[in-house]
């Protein structure tokens, strides 16, 4: 049996595992990441890469605190990647336009963003048409968020992988961590023919976390939620910014590709696109910007979001273990929240105080029979 030792063993090479590995490696920790398939190929690859603004790291809202911390940290992560000469991830503050049919809805939305500290400009039909003449007639009002950014997430992940490897992080493919037992509190786990000996362990396995915890807490409340995306080939600058209607959106990339997303489906671990899902997305695109109806569909894909009941991640020590931290369940916001998640997780793993208050992210709340504090769940052999 091959024995591998490290300071931190990370399960899952998605955006959260890789960003945390990078921060730990920069601090000088030795890190190994294991992934059950290939690294950087699941939800973090499939997402759209929208990064909404946030400016309140001391807010009472846990969501706003983490979003704001992440917004603050995105430029720092980008700098780290640039310093390591990794692939350009096309991070850009591109702005977004949230579209509405009714004035009162647009006004409420603008107010909400302004309260969060963001610039949110309300448009009526005239200013909307002069700002975005491509928009279809159904949309009369809009809230413009000029501070919204996007990242081209497949490139960001490639860049993170490069950075981690350059700093000596070992990333192992086809290395599926089995369901956890009490054994991990001893700092040892066997995966296939390899034994890993570690000081700390970090669980970043997205939609699969419930399977990993199935012997510890059957029914851990994070479930896969499929999202499909259709990709059109347009001309660069065909759309002036991201366009959003509720939970659906059009995201223009710099080279003219346009992502049309996305569905929200509870179909277990099925991760294929469907004719019906893609057609729905294409109808949506043509409804928002009629001229998109003529564009070629060049690609379509699906990913599994780690859906949690309150749509917020679990970040903290796994109850009953002093050496295991969990960072899973980011649902629709895992790319956006990855810098903040990594900052919190690496602080916890290094025995430091996290940079923001982490109340509201307790893993306990997703344990079966949890009643807010401790569930009484006991790890089983």
In angstroms, give the least distance from the CB of 103 to ligand FAD.
Answer: 27
Provide, rounded to whole angstroms, the least separation between the CB of residue 331 and ligand FAD. Answer: 6
Report the residue number, 129 or 321, with the smaller CB distance to ligand FAD.
321
Q: How far apart are CA 37 and CA 19, in angstroms?
A: 18
Nearer to ligand FAD, 154 or 319 (CB): 154
Phi, psi of 82, rounded to the nearest 5 degrees: -65, -40
Residues of this chain that bind ligand FAD (CB under 6 A): 11-17, 34-37, 42-44, 46-50, 176-177, 204-208, 212, 227, 229, 261-262, 303, 305-306, 328, 330-336
The neighbouring-strand residues paired with 32 are 9, 170
> What residues are paired with 2 via a beta bridge?
194
Nearer to ligand FAD, 192 or 236 (CB): 192
Nearest distance in Å: CB 313, ligand FAD:
8
Task: Give the other-Cβ count within 10 Å of 1's Cβ.
Answer: 7
Q: How many CB atoms lie within 10 A of CB 115?
A: 12
Q: Give the C-alpha distances (Å, rounded to integers) separating 25 from 19, 161, 198, 334, 342.
A: 10, 12, 15, 21, 12
Smallest separation, CB 336 to ligand FAD (Å): 3
Residue with Cβ nearer ligand FAD (44 or 375) = 44
CA 51 to chain centre: 10
Residues whose CB is less than 8 angstroms from the CB of residue 194 and which lie 6 or more positions away in sequence, other chains included:
1, 2, 3, 4, 175
Q: What's the closest the beta carbon of residue 219 comes to ligand FAD, in angstroms?
A: 17
Q: Which of residues 12 and 53 has its CB atom nearest to ligand FAD in the complex?
A: 12
Least distance between ligand FAD and beta carbon 265 (Å): 10
Closest CB to ligand FAD among 309 and 376? 309
* φ, ψ at 20 (rounded to 5°): -70, -40
Q: Which residues, 6+ apart, have CB-to-CB distance to 73 below 8 Å?
A: 339, 340, 343
Which C-beta is closer to ligand FAD: that of 177 or that of 318? 177
Least distance to ligand FAD from the beta carbon of 108, Å?
Answer: 22
Return phi, psi of residue 278, to 5°.
-70, -40
DSSP string, 258-275: EEEE---B--TT-----H
């Amino acid at each position: 049996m091959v024995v591998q030792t490290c300071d931190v063993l990370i399960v899952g090479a998605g955006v959260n595992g890789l960003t945390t590995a990078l921060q730990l490696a920069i601090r000088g920790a030795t890190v190994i990441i294991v992934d059950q398939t290939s690294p950087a190929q699941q939800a973090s690859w499939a997402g759209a890469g929208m990064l909404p603004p946030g400016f309140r790291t001391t807010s009472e809202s846990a969501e706003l605190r983490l979003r704001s911390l992440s917004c603050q940290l995105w430029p720092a992560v980008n700098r780290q990647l640039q310093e390591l000469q990794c692939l350009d991830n096309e991070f850009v503050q591109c702005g977004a336009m949230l579209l509405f049919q009714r004035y009162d809805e647009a006004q409420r939305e603008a107010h909400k963003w302004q309260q969060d500290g963001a610039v949110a400009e309300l448009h009526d039909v005239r200013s909307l048409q002069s700002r975005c003449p491509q928009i279809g007639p159904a949309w009369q009002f809009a809230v413009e968020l000029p501070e919204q950014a996007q990242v081209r997430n497949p490139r960001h992940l490639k860049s993170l992988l490069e950075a981690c490897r350059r700093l000596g992080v070992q990333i192992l493919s086809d290395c599926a961590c089995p369901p956890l037992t009490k054994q991990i509190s001893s700092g040892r786990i066997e995966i296939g023919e390899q034994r890993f000996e570690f000081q700390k362990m970090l669980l970043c396995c997205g939609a699969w976390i419930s399977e990993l915890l199935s012997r510890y807490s059957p029914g851990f409340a994070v479930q896969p939620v499929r999202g499909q995306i259709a990709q059109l080939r347009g001309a660069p600058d065909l759309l002036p910014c991201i366009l959003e209607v509720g939970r659906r959106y059009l995201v223009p990339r710099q080279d003219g590709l346009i992502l049309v997303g996305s569905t929200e489906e509870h179909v277990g671990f099925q991760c294929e696109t469907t004719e019906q899902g893609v057609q729905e997305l294409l109808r949506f695109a043509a409804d928002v910007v009629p001229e998109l109806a003529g564009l070629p569909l060049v690609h379509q894909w699906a990913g599994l979001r780690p859906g949690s009941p309150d749509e917020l991640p679990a970040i903290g020590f796994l109850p009953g273990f002093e050496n295991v931290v969990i960072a899973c369940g980011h649902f629709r916001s895992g790319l956006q929240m990855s810098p903040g998640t990594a900052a919190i997780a690496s602080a916890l793993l290094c025995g430091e105080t996290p940079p923001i208050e982490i109340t509201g992210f307790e893993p306990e709340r997703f344990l079966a029979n949890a009643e807010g504090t401790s569930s009484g769940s006991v790890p089983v052999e």
